[in-house]
Amino acid sequence: MPRLATTDIDIARCFDVLAELRPHLCRETFVQTIREMQADGFNLVYLTDGNDVVAAAGYRIYTNLYMGKHCYVDDLVTATVQRSKGYGEQLIKWLRDQAREAGCAHFHLDSGTHRGQAHKFYFAQGFTIASYHFSEELK
């Protein structure tokens, strides 16, 4: 069962798994960054196998004009050595249930175009490609 990371220790335990997805993350500022994100509605959940965090996800529930109330998954990752053991599927199911319980009309995420294996997983979980996501790096 996924657990909400509420303490600094919980948050710090998620660093190694999330850094696999986001290698630019800095261990020294990770907890502070998550705390700032939590103030904006971000939630961090994780799964363990024994003492080890094996998968983690960050999500937000909010409302916009396009989708109404919805759940957006910022990050979803299973440790490389733990993949294909059902952890990602457990997180998706739990997140989807949270979205339904919150009265969300949509459940969605973005995935980098280079992440083919992740896309196969998302299709198997019932996701479809709904739009293009455009971005611009601001200097």
Could you report the per-residue pLDDT of 53-63, keeping only the tens digit for each?
Answer: 999 999 999 99
pLDDT of residue 57: 98
> Which domain, by its residues, includes 43?
3-124
Is residue 57 assigned to a domain? yes
Is residue 139 assigned to a domain? no
pLDDT of residue 68: 97
Is residue 29 assigned to a domain? yes
Could you report the per-residue pLDDT of 129-139, keeping only the tens digit for each?
Answer: 999 889 999 99
pLDDT of residue 123: 93
Measured in Å, how far apart are the chain's first and last C-alpha atoms? 41
Is residue 137 assigned to a domain? no
In angstroms, the CA 90 to CA 3 distance is: 12
Helix (H, G, I), strand (E, B), or coil: what is residue 58? strand
Is residue 133 assigned to a domain? no
- Give every residue of the chain whose pLDDT is below 50, as ranges: none
As for how many domains the chain has, the answer is 1
Is residue 132 assigned to a domain? no
Instruction: Read off the pTM.
Output: 0.93
Is residue 44 assigned to a domain? yes
Is residue 7 assigned to a domain? yes
Q: Name the maximum alpha-carbon separation found in the chain.
A: 43
CATH number at residue 99: 3.40.630.30
